[in-house]
């Protein structure tokens, strides 16, 4: 979530009237930014993570795990909270982290106090940093409250008591939900206004239907007995029985179901805008693969689902498209908008030669007036399309105090649209009045239950991003295939049994192994220690590798020959008999170009080994399963092997309580889960013994 203004939010009818004003000034603000920073070059790699938590109260008497709605108060205390820990808990040289509010009143988000640099030391501090933040968050909670890094709360929106304190969903003034009370939402006016304005713009309540997991005794057809079919408080209450709730599905009807999920995001700074655009594109096809590998949300509204991930639930939960835009009603003009404002990227944006026009094979509606404005100012076609595509959306919240702005100094209107387009990647221009350069954000991953796993994925993605630059890797496939992969990634057990479109040859033309580019000629880049000898190793992860010019004699075959279907395992470890070295293969080759001590390499290898095991299909070593499960598979198995589970898909209060207790114990290292984590897992306490 972006900055939180205090002020008076406009109603939807008022907001609509200012929509064009916000868009027009948003573009002007972007153009001021562009003029200021388009030639900016030489920014070093800085990067950071965002980890989201849901705070849960474990009520040991009633054996109930409930979402704790105190986080607005707790977050006030967490501001500048570093001094609250003893020296034992505070790793040396760690700056005070930042805690942010989120959509759910039970949620928190934390980021490191200052971004990581490209040093190996910073790379290896990520887990300690995350653990430190978790310890700080815990410190301000009651004894029975625990911050969980858990993607979706299994019993959100069930009958009975799932929040502390309890509120009735009959009071759902902004969402009109049959299941979620308004009190689930952060009380800052931004959040209830988003909820209400989405419903108003859409012209109906949110309707999400996730296929239920059909177990041995699931009634067929499954007609959900927990839906209050006959409630009659809000005008939309009959929607459920009039067709909005599908049989054999888990029906959800409010933004909170999706926006109340937790995730793991990473932001990287680039040397310049072109590098940021190339990096954005390169990670677009990686996003669904990482979603599949981090899958962690198989339970919704008290039922096991036939999907493993949150993505489509969030996409549905903020889908503010009108019936015409969703093509439910015939319309004269071509007003159909193919996706929700929360969804996968629609357009590759790099001007590098490796981005062939054929890869952008989806219809990308864009705001023509905004597009023309951008083009007239000299913005190239792809970037103009990207921005004016984001700008087909209306603002969701406008504060009356912030309607009129100094467009040379503010980017508020730009951000209003930009930060309410929630795509798998975000291209972030440098903010005004700050040192920050061009950045991209990687947003598809589900948050994992332990800091070890979250750190492993953060470390892996930053290393992969460097391998992409250093070796000039090419991951492009048609964007329609990336979208197909998004659907596949969410299916049950996709990390094991799914197949994904992926590029066969990722190395530059003519290369048979990854070769590092020489340092850039970019004049303002910090000088890189480099000698021509092949053995010269670099001290840091960095930016600013030159891209390879198009060789004069590349034979361009049909695009369809450039990719094929692979399993997650093949994508990570390579495919026998093919030229594709696997994502882990290129990451390892990249680490070989770095000057890393033996001890540090061991630590990095722990993360990569973990990812290898997660990505690998069933494989036994000395009669033990060597491969590791996704959290989604582990949670599903936990539910299905619980003594009180009746094989009817329902996840009752007792199962949920025992699950959350188990997750907490696993995180703290007091309960082993060898099918989920490495055998030697212990929570990082900042006193890692690193052999150097």
| Candidate residues 174, 218, 267, 355; the one interacting with ligand ADP per rule CB under 6 A | 267
112 makes contact, choosing from Mg ion, ligand ADP, none, with CB < 5 to 8 Å by partner type, with ligand ADP
Using the minimum distance from each CB to ligand ADP, give the nearer residue, 108 or 195: 108
Residue 679 Cβ, how far from Mg ion at the closest point, in Å?
A: 32
Using the minimum distance from each CB to ligand ADP, give the nearer residue, 100 or 375: 100
Distance CA(499)–CA(85), nearest Å, equals 47
Distance CA(35)–CA(32), nearest Å, equals 5
Residue 109 binds Mg ion (CB under 5 A): yes
Using the minimum distance from each CB to ligand ADP, give the nearer residue, 48 or 258: 48
Using the minimum distance from each CB to ligand ADP, give the nearer residue, 308 or 441: 441
Q: DSSP alpha helices (H): ranges in 92-249?
A: 120-123, 126-139, 190-202
Angle 622-624-629 (CA atoms, 0-180°, nearest 5)?
Answer: 145
Q: What is the SS3 assignment for 426?
A: strand
Residue 480 Cβ, how far from Mg ion at the closest point, in Å?
A: 26
Residue 342 binds ligand ADP (CB under 6 A): no
Residue 98 Cβ, how far from ligand ADP at the closest point, in Å?
A: 7
Residue 429 binds ligand ADP (CB under 6 A): no
Residue 115 binds ligand ADP (CB under 6 A): yes
Distance CA(376)–CA(27), nearest Å, equals 12
Residue 446 binds Mg ion (CB under 5 A): no
Residues sharing a CB contact under 8 Å with residue 193, sequence separation 6 or more, in sequence order:
9, 174, 396, 397
**Tokens 């029985």 correspond to what residue?**
241
Segment near ligand ADP (CB under 6 A); pick from 263-271, 320-328, 503-511, 637-645: 263-271
Residue 47 binds ligand ADP (CB under 6 A): yes
Distance CA(536)–CA(594), nearest Å, equals 9
Residue 329 Cβ, how far from Mg ion at the closest point, in Å?
A: 34
Specify the pairing of strand 64-68 against strand 163-164.
parallel
Residue 50 binds ligand ADP (CB under 6 A): yes
Q: Are 609 and 681 contacting, i.e. CB atoms less than 8 angstroms apart?
A: no
The upper half-sphere exposure of residue 580, i.e. CA atoms within 13 Å in the direction of its Cβ, equals 23
Residue 290 Cβ, how far from Mg ion at the closest point, in Å?
A: 15
| Candidate residues 29, 98, 175, 265; the one interacting with Mg ion per rule CB under 5 A | 265
Segment near ligand ADP (CB under 6 A); pick from 54-62, 108-116, 578-586, 604-612: 108-116
Residue 50 binds Mg ion (CB under 5 A): yes
Segment near ligand ADP (CB under 6 A); pick from 110-118, 181-189, 384-392, 555-563: 110-118
Distance CA(385)–CA(29), nearest Å, equals 17
Residue 13 Cβ, how far from ligand ADP at the closest point, in Å?
A: 29
Nearest one of 424, 423, 379 to 33, comparing CA atoms: 379
Q: Whose CB is nearest to ligand ADP?
A: 48
Distance CA(66)–CA(519), nearest Å, equals 53
Residue 424 binds ligand ADP (CB under 6 A): no
Angle 551-554-559 (CA atoms, 0-180°, nearest 5)?
Answer: 130
Using the minimum distance from each CB to ligand ADP, give the nearer residue, 111 or 152: 111
Residue 52 Cβ, how far from ligand ADP at the closest point, in Å?
A: 10
Residue 3 Cβ, how far from ligand ADP at the closest point, in Å?
A: 8
Residues sharing a CB contact under 8 Å with residue 378, sequence separation 6 or more, in sequence order:
none
Residue 514 binds ligand ADP (CB under 6 A): no
Residue 100 Cβ, how far from ligand ADP at the closest point, in Å?
A: 6
Nearest one of 429, 401, 391, 403 to 277, comparing CA atoms: 429
Using the minimum distance from each CB to ligand ADP, give the nearer residue, 112 or 574: 112
| Candidate residues 18, 32, 49, 616; the one interacting with ligand ADP per rule CB under 6 A | 49
Q: How far is CA 324 from the centre of its chain?
A: 29
Using the minimum distance from each CB to ligand ADP, give the nearer residue, 113 or 365: 113
Q: How far is CA 553 from the centre of its chain?
A: 39
- The site that binds ligand ADP (CB under 6 A) totals a number of residues, namely 18
Q: What is the SS3 assignment for 651?
A: coil
Residues sharing a CB contact under 8 Å with residue 631, sequence separation 6 or more, in sequence order:
151, 294, 295, 296, 446, 448, 449, 676
Using the minimum distance from each CB to Mg ion, give the nearer residue, 109 or 453: 109
Residue 48 binds ligand ADP (CB under 6 A): yes
Residue 226 Cβ, how far from ligand ADP at the closest point, in Å?
A: 34
Nearest one of 107, 145, 150 to 259, comparing CA atoms: 107
Q: DSSP alpha helices (H): ranges in 391-538?
A: 412-418, 451-470, 479-489, 494-497
Distances (CA, A) of 212 to 220, 241, 299, 370: 11, 18, 9, 42
Using the minimum distance from each CB to Mg ion, give the nearer residue, 64 or 265: 265
Residue 439 binds ligand ADP (CB under 6 A): yes
Interface mask toward ligand ADP for 268-297; x: CB under 6 A: xx----------------------------
Residue 441 binds ligand ADP (CB under 6 A): yes
Site for ligand ADP, rule CB under 6 A: 1-2, 46-50, 100, 111-112, 115, 265, 267-269, 436, 439, 441
Site for Mg ion, rule CB under 5 A: 50, 109, 265
């Amino acid at each position: 979530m972006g900055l939180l203004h205090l002020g008076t939010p406009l109603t939807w009818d008022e907001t609509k009237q200012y929509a064009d004003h916000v868009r027009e000034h948003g573009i002007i603000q972007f153009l001021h930014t562009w003029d200021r920073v388009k030639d900016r070059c030489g920014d070093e790699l800085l990067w950071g993570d965002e980890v989201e938590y849901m705070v849960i109260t474990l009520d040991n008497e009633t054996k109930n795990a409930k979402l704790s709605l105190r986080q607005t108060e707790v977050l006030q205390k967490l501001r500048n909270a570093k001094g609250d820990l003893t020296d034992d808990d505070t790793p040396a040289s760690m700056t005070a982290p930042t805690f942010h509010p989120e959509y759910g009143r039970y949620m928190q988000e934390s980021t490191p106090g200052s971004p990581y640099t490209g040093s190996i030391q910073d790379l290896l501090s990520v887990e300690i940093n995350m653990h430190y933040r978790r310890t700080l968050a815990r410190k301000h909670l009651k004894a029975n409250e625990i911050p969980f890094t858990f993607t979706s709360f299994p019993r959100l929106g069930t009958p009975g008591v799932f929040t502390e304190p309890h509120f009735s969903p009959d009071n759902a003034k902004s969402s009109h939900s049959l299941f979620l009370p308004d009190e689930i939402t952060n009380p800052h006016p931004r959040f209830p206004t988003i909820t209400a304005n989405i419903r108003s713009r859409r012209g109906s309540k949110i309707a999400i239907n996730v296929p239920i997991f059909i177990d041995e005794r699931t009634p067929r057809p499954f007609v959900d007995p927990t839906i209050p079919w006959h409630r009659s408080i809000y005008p939309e209450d009959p929607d459920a029985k009039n067709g909005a709730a599908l049989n054999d599905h888990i029906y959800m009807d409010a933004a909170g179901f999706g926006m109340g999920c937790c995730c793991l995001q990473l932001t990287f700074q680039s040397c310049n805008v072109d590098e940021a655009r190339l990096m954005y594109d390169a990670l677009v096809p990686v996003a669904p693969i990482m979603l599949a590998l981090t899958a962690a949300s198989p339970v919704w509204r008290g039922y096991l689902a036939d999907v493993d991930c949150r993505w489509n639930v969030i996409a549905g939960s903020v889908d503010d498209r009108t019936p015409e835009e969703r093509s439910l009603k015939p319309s004269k003009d071509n007003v159909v908008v193919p996706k929700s404002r929360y969804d996968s990227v629609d357009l590759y944006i790099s001007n590098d030669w490796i981005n062939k026009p054929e890869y952008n094979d989806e219809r990308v509606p864009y705001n023509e007036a905004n597009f023309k404005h951008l083009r007239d100012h000299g913005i190239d076609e792809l970037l103009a399309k990207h921005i004016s595509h984001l700008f087909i959306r209306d603002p969701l919240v406008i504060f009356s105090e912030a309607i009129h702005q100094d467009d040379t100094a503010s980017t508020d209107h730009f951000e209003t649209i930009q930060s309410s387009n929630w795509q798998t990647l975000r291209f972030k221009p440098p903010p005004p009045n700050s040192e920050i350069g061009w950045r991209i954000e990687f947003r598809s991953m589900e948050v994992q239950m332990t800091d070890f796993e979250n750190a492993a994925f953060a470390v892996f993605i930053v290393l992969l991003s460097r391998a992409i630059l250093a070796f000039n890797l090419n991951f492009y496939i048609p964007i329609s295939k990336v979208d197909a992969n998004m659907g596949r990634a969410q299916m049950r057990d996709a990390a094991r049994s799914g197949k994904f479109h992926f590029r066969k040859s990722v190395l530059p033309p003519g290369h048979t192994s990854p070769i590092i580019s020489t340092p850039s000629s970019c004049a303002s880049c910090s000088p890189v220690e480099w000698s021509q000898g092949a053995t010269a190793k670099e001290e840091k992860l960095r930016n600013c590798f030159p891209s390879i010019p198009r060789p004069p004699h590349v034979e361009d075959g049909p695009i369809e020959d450039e990719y094929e279907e692979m399993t997650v395992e093949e994508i990570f470890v390579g495919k026998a008999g093919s030229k594709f070295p696997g994502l882990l293969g290129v990451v390892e080759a990249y680490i070989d170009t770095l000057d890393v001590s033996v001890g540090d390499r061991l630590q990095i290898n722990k993360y990569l080994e973990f990812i290898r095991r997660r990505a690998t299909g069933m494989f036994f070593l000395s009669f033990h399963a060597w491969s590791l499960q996704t959290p989604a598979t582990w949670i599903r198995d936990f539910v299905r092997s619980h003594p009180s589970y009746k094989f009817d898909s329902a996840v009752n209060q007792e199962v949920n309580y025992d699950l959350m207790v188990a997750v907490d114990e696993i995180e703290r290292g007091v309960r082993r889960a060898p099918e989920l984590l490495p055998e030697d897992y212990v929570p990082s306490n900042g006193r890692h013994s690193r052999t150097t």
